[in-house]
């Protein structure tokens, strides 16, 4: 056997009946045997199983195979399996090729003859192609053990603590003045009705004081460059106009500030001062001056905060500062926005005082909130009846087709809180009850025993147009009760809208910054919905919590822990393999036109000004081939996708 002799083994998988039910396996196997340089062709029920893999290993050893083709399913799932089999037996992973005779043949037709011919063509293509494939050298790069986490809601907090507790450094960047996210706005949490702040604030303080966590609050990521294991991140620390080193968090500045504006944290239900921390347990406990509303910034007078600050921490001259950190991995945990229900005009949000959103109700019901936990109408009186409308903007093709997954449960929670604090009648206007989590169905049953009235139907209108005497001074819900089969009118004092959880309004911008993709619903796209739910298509960047899709706190925490485990696995390995099937530029042929630089979606190509040629960063290149296709001088080759290999593949399909 000469060193250059190509000895190809072809292995055809039945995939149970997935392939064998439509493709004539015997015919395909004998065909494969007849192809040039094929030394052996075998079939097996499940090639990915241990015995299937062993079959390949044995043949490599006994028959001296130096190239392997497996004809089975999509490479997405099992290419790594078979590449490993090859490598374990001394065959370079790039001397392996997969022919997809399931998704591309047996699953797309019921015609056995056609499926068999297509399978033959795909195998012929793979065999011809592999003839020209070259072994490629696998390189490794060291991993920086620091991690960047973007977003300090429960997702970011959980991930930060898990990574930091294991001894690695975390930079936690939070856009708002304090960490906590939406969870810190909530009153109680379903289904256990734990006080949200009671379970979250200890974690927040741990983050604030952890020796391995650098909390960078009131800040945003401006730029990120690099690749898995070695990212460089530029962070903008927004001016607080308060010196963080000097401030003791005594709160006197907030007390003395004479100006009030609606509080974002209380979603308009309460007010805050112009120098403020969003809530008393803020972490870090350092106020910010709201420049837009500060009278000193607007008119040059006041400076009350400065006068009363004993440590001289107020600094009106402060400007945004930039800092750079280096990290190996990034976890994006930027959470969600609550949908603004104003466009759904029929529900009267913004028009009627006592129509609230769920998150506004959370603030009202919270003992530490603006009403001290009193559930009250705008005029301060206690409501005698409250309706909770489910699916506002969710499961509605005019707004969001998806289910927000938490509304049924928090609507039930609200009923309980209302019943606990008032004598009000409570109506749940629902389409279906979706109580899928652990203890959720039981919580629903508990509520049915608390005297809550359930009306199955979508509310068509909230109006103050009175028809009957008893409706006077009330908000009337018009709803088709689908269980009664009739349209009913329900007069109430307060309406709570369970508005959809939606992707952040700046999700596209953040996606661009971190090279993420968005799914059709606007949330960040995970690498695989079932098998890789926290990784993304960009190695080293993970998405967790509600920025990946609407979910409750238990699922958010589970995802955060999953991402932390993934990051820790990479850190403990200390190095990471980089893809070898990447583009290479031939300096001799490069004309310096820079077309490739403009087109590269991974910013992997730079320009060498001295030599006037393009340079490809091996670690950043993902081997997409855009540059190779576009290069007018044919100076770029995509390794593993050379013209010779692709032409051979095309010829193989056409024979
Ligand atoms: C009315 C209501 C009631 C709910 N009640 C419950 C309940 O009882 N039980 C339950 O399990 N779930 C409940 N939920 C769901 C719960 O709120 C979420 O599961 C949880 O808050 C998700 O956390 P997160 O960290 O993913 O997102 P978030 O809480 O949204 O946190 C994201 C964080 O990222 C920050 N951020 C955003 N963009 C950037 C950026 N570009 N740079 C830096 N930082 C950024 C934000 O400021 C925020 O601090 C409720 C939801 C609603 C709307």
CATH number of the domain residue 153 falls in:
3.50.50.60
The confidence score (pLDDT) of residue 227 equals 87
* Residue bearing the CA closest to ligand 1, atom 50: 406
CA–CA separation, 541 and 276 (whole Å): 34
Considering the domain architecture, whether residues 545 and 596 belong to the same structural domain is answered as no
The confidence score (pLDDT) of residue 546 equals 98
Closest C-alpha to 156, from 561, 507, 502: 561
Is the Cβ atom of 511 under 6 angstroms away from ligand 1?
no
Specify the length of the chain in residues: 655
Is the Cβ atom of 471 under 6 angstroms away from ligand 1?
no
What tens digit of pLDDT does each residue of 611-655 get?
999 999 988 898 999 999 999 999 999 999 999 999 999 999 998
Q: Could you tell me the CA-to-CA distances from 313 to 239, 281, 282, 288, 316 in Å, in that order?
A: 13, 20, 18, 11, 10
Is the Cβ atom of 410 under 6 angstroms away from ligand 1?
yes
Q: Please identify, among 79, 111, 136, the residue that sits at the C-terminal boundary of a domain.
A: 136
Is the residue at 298 inside a domain?
A: no
The confidence score (pLDDT) of residue 578 equals 86
CA–CA separation, 334 and 174 (whole Å): 9
Q: 92 with 135: CB under 8 angstroms?
A: yes
Is the residue at 418 inside a domain?
A: yes
Distance from Cα 185 to the centre of ligand 1, integer Å: 9
Is the residue at 198 inside a domain?
A: yes
What tens digit of pLDDT does each residue of 187-204 get?
999 999 999 999 999 999
CATH number of the domain residue 37 falls in:
3.40.50
Is the residue at 279 inside a domain?
A: no
With 0.85 as the threshold, say if the pTM is over it: yes
pLDDT band at 3 (very low <50, low <70, confident <90, very high): low
Name the 3-class secondary structure at 58: helix
Average pLDDT on 579-601 reads 95
Is the Cβ atom of 155 under 6 angstroms away from ligand 1?
yes
Considering the domain architecture, whether residues 94 and 187 belong to the same structural domain is answered as no
Q: Please identify, among 106, 136, 166, the residue that sits at the C-terminal boundary of a domain.
A: 136
Is the Cβ atom of 359 under 6 angstroms away from ligand 1?
yes
Count of domains for the chain:
4
Closest C-alpha to 168, from 141, 142, 147, 152: 147
Considering the domain architecture, whether residues 33 and 159 belong to the same structural domain is answered as no
Q: Could you tell me the CA-to-CA distances from 318 to 19, 240, 315 in Å, in that order?
A: 68, 7, 6
Closest C-alpha to 2, from 51, 85, 44, 64: 64
Is the Cβ atom of 177 under 6 angstroms away from ligand 1?
no
The confidence score (pLDDT) of residue 520 equals 96
Considering the domain architecture, whether residues 495 and 412 belong to the same structural domain is answered as yes
Ligand 1 atom nearest 221 alpha carbon: 42
Ligand 1 atom nearest 359 alpha carbon: 1
Closest C-alpha to 310, from 362, 227, 352, 249: 249
Positive or negative: CA dihedral 307, 312, 318, 321: negative
Q: 520 with 535: CB under 8 angstroms?
A: no
* Beta strand residue intervals within 238-314, DSSP E: 260-262, 271-273, 275-276, 288-289
Considering the domain architecture, whether residues 358 and 474 belong to the same structural domain is answered as yes
DSSP 105: I
Q: Please identify, among 501, 523, 544, the residue that sits at the C-terminal boundary of a domain.
A: 501
Ligand 1 atom nearest 219 alpha carbon: 43
Considering the domain architecture, whether residues 366 and 476 belong to the same structural domain is answered as yes
Is the Cβ atom of 405 under 6 angstroms away from ligand 1?
no
Angle at alpha carbon of residue 534, lines to 96 and 206, rounded to 5°? 140
Considering the domain architecture, whether residues 156 and 60 belong to the same structural domain is answered as no
CATH number of the domain residue 595 falls in:
3.30.70.20
Considering the domain architecture, whether residues 481 and 352 belong to the same structural domain is answered as yes
**The tokens of 420 are what?**
């606990």
**The tokens of 482 are what?**
């689908």
Considering the domain architecture, whether residues 117 and 209 belong to the same structural domain is answered as no
Furthest CA-CA distance within the chain: 100
- Residue 620 sits in which domain range? 583-639
Ligand 1 atom nearest 189 alpha carbon: 8
Could you tell which of 171, 192, 334 is best to mutate to test the pocket of ligand 1, judged by most ligand atoms within 8 Å of the CB?
334
Phi, psi of 162 (to 5 degrees): -65, -40
What tens digit of pLDDT does each residue of 540-576 get?
999 999 999 999 999 999 999 999 999 999 999 999 9
Is the residue at 245 inside a domain?
A: no
* Residue bearing the CA closest to ligand 1, atom 30: 335
Which residues lie across from 584 on neighbouring strands?
Answer: 637
Distance from Cα 122 to the centre of ligand 1, integer Å: 48
What tens digit of pLDDT does each residue of 125-149 get?
999 999 999 999 999 999 999 999 9
Angle of helix 25-33 relative to helix 112-132, nearest 10 degrees, comes to 30
Asked if omega into 284 is within 30° of 0 (cis), the reply is yes
Phi, psi of 513 (to 5 degrees): -60, -45
Distance from Cα 594 to the centre of ligand 1, integer Å: 43
Is the residue at 395 inside a domain?
A: yes
Q: Could you tell me the CA-to-CA distances from 343 to 362, 416, 499, 654 in Å, in that order?
A: 22, 29, 12, 56
Distance from Cα 254 to the centre of ligand 1, integer Å: 26
* Beta strand residue intervals within 362-458, DSSP E: 385-392, 425-430, 453-456
What tens digit of pLDDT does each residue of 508-536 get?
999 999 989 999 999 999 999 998 999 99
Considering the domain architecture, whether residues 344 and 484 belong to the same structural domain is answered as yes
Is the residue at 225 inside a domain?
A: no
The confidence score (pLDDT) of residue 1 equals 58
Is the residue at 246 inside a domain?
A: no
Ligand 1 atom nearest 498 alpha carbon: 1
**The tokens of 132 are what?**
């020209």
Asked if omega into 191 is within 30° of 0 (cis), the reply is yes
Asked if pLDDT for residue 226 goes beyond 90, the answer is: no
Ligand 1 atom nearest 361 alpha carbon: 1
Considering the domain architecture, whether residues 80 and 157 belong to the same structural domain is answered as no
Is the Cβ atom of 390 under 6 angstroms away from ligand 1?
no
Distance from Cα 279 to the centre of ligand 1, integer Å: 16
* Residue bearing the CA closest to ligand 1, atom 6: 189
Positive or negative: CA dihedral 472, 476, 480, 485: negative
* Residue bearing the CA closest to ligand 1, atom 7: 189
Considering the domain architecture, whether residues 494 and 438 belong to the same structural domain is answered as yes
Of 87-96, 302-311, 442-451, least confident by mean pLDDT is 442-451
């Amino acid at each position: 056997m000469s060193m250059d002799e190509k000895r190809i083994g072809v292995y055809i998988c039945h995939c149970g009946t997935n392939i064998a039910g439509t493709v004539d396996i015997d015919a395909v196997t004998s065909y494969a045997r007849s192809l040039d340089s094929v030394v052996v062709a075998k079939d097996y029920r499940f090639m990915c199983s241990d015995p299937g893999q062993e079959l390949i290993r044995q043949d490599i050893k006994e028959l001296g195979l130096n190239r392997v083709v497996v004809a089975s399913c999509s490479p997405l799932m099992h290419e790594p399996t078979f590449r490993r089999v090859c490598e374990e037996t001394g065959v370079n992973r790039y001397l392996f090729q997969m022919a997809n005779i399931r998704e591309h043949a047996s699953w797309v037709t019921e015609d056995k003859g056609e499926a068999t011919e297509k399978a033959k063509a795909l195998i012929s293509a793979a065999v011809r192609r592999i003839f020209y494939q070259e072994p490629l050298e696998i390189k490794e790069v060291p991993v920086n053990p620091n991690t960047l986490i973007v977003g300090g809601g429960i997702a970011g907090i959980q991930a930060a603590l898990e990574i930091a507790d294991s001894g690695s450094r975390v930079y936690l960047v939070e856009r708002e003045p304090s960490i906590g996210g939406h969870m810190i706005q909530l009153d109680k949490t379903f289904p256990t009705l734990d006080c949200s702040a009671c379970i979250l604030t200890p974690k927040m303080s741990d983050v604030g004081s952890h020796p391995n966590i650098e909390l960078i609050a009131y800040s945003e990521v401006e730029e990120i460059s690099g690749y898995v294991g070695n990212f460089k991140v530029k962070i903008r620390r927004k001016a607080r106009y308060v010196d963080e080193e000097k401030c003791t968090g005594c709160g006197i500045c907030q007390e003395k500030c004479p100006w009030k504006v609606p509080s974002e944290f209380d979603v308009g239900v309460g007010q805050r001062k112009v120098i403020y921390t969003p809530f008393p347990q803020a972490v870090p406990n350092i106020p910010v001056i709201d420049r837009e509303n500060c009278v000193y910034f607007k008119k040059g007078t006041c400076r009350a905060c400065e006068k009363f600050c004993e440590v001289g921490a107020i600094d009106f001259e402060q400007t945004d500062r930039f800092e750079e950190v280096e990290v190996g991995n990034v976890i994006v945990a930027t959470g969600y926005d609550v949908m603004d229900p104003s466009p759904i005009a029929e529900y009267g949000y913004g028009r009627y005082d006592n129509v609230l959103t769920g998150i506004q109700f959370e603030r009202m019901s919270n003992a530490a909130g603006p009403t001290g936990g009193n559930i009250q109408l705008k005029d301060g009186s206690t409501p005698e009846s409250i309706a909770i409308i489910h699916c506002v903007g969710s499961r509605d093709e005019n707004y969001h087709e998806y289910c927000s997954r938490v509304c049924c449960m928090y609507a039930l929670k609200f009923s309980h809180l209302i019943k606990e604090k008032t004598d009000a009648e409570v109506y749940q206007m629902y389409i279906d009850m979706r109580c899928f989590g652990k203890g959720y169905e039981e919580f629903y049953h508990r509520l049915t025993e608390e005297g809550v009235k359930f009306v199955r139907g979508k509310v068509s209108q909230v109006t103050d147009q009175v028809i009957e005497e008893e409706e006077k001074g009330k908000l009337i819900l018009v709803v088709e009760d689908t269980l009664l089969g009739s349209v009913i009118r329900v007069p109430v004092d307060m309406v709570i809208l369970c508005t959809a959880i939606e992707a952040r309004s700046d999700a596209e911008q953040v996606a661009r910054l971190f090279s993420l993709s968005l799914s059709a619903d606007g949330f960040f796209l995970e690498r695989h919905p079932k098998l890789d739910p926290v990784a993304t298509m960009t190695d080293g960047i993970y998405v967790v919590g509600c920025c990946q899709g609407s979910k409750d706190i238990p699922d958010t925490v589970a995802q955060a822990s999953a991402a932390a485990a993934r990051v820790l696995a990479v850190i403990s390995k200390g190095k990471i393999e980089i893809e070898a099937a990447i583009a290479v530029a031939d300096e001799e042929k490069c004309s310096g036109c820079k077309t490739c630089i403009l087109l590269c979606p991974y910013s992997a190509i730079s320009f060498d000004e001295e030599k006037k040629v393009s340079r490809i960063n091996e670690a950043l290149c993902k081997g997409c081939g855009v540059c190779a296709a576009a290069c007018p001088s044919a100076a770029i080759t995509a390794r593993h996708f050379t013209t010779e290999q692709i032409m051979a593949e095309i010829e193989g399909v056409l024979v």
